[in-house]
């Protein structure tokens, strides 16, 4: 295994996925890319100005979280890169995996908005269904 992509959205489930991806990267000497996707806002009841302000806030929070992750992994003996995309999370995970030609996608079983009563969240389900490479779902 040479390239691992882990999706991270700040949830406990994605923290577990990150931990597992780091372990796999260290054990297999693979590079690790941590991807966070800022979802597009479709809040029609908000003005464009408010929607843009919220989007900028989400992007800044994501940048800070990714920087924190990058710093926490700097002492590891692996090649780590952080990437932020904007759009539909499942689509951006799949698109990034294909462009980077990753060997494995690691994702949490459900994200920040996933319901505990379901086995898998909608993002992880879509990634499993449409990925061209193996997917490891961490619960």
Side by side, which strands form the sheet with 3-7?
80-86, 31-38, 3-7, 104-108, 135-138
Q: Per the structure, how many domains does the chain have?
A: 1
**pLDDT tens digits along 11-68:** 899 999 999 999 999 999 999 999 999 988 776 677 888 888 988 999 999 999 999 9
Alpha helix segments (H runs only) across 43-121:
48-72, 89-100
Least Cα distance to 9 among 137, 116, 123 occurs for: 123
DSSP classification of residue 39 = P
| CATH number of the CATH domain containing 84 | 3.40.50.620
**pLDDT tens digits along 83-108:** 999 999 999 999 999 999 999 999 99
Threshold 0.95, pTM exceeds: no
In angstroms, the CA 19 to CA 8 distance is 11
Range of the domain at 40: 3-138
């Amino acid at each position: 295994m040479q390239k691992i992509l882990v999706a991270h959205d700040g949830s406990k489930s994605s923290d577990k996925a990150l931990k597992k991806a780091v372990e796999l990267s260290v054990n297999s000497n693979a590079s690790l890319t941590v991807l966070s996707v800022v979802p597009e806002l479709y809040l029609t009841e908000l003005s464009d100005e408010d929607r843009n302000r919220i989007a900028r806030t989400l992007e800044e929070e994501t940048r800070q979280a990714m920087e924190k992750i990058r710093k926490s992994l700097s002492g590891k003996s692996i090649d780590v890169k952080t990437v932020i995309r904007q759009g539909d999370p499942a689509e951006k995970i799949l698109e990034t995996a294909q462009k980077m030609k990753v060997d494995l996608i690691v994702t949490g079983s459900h994200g920040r908005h996933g319901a505990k009563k379901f086995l898998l969240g909608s993002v992880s389900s879509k990634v499993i269904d449409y990925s061209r490479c193996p997917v490891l779902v961490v619960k």
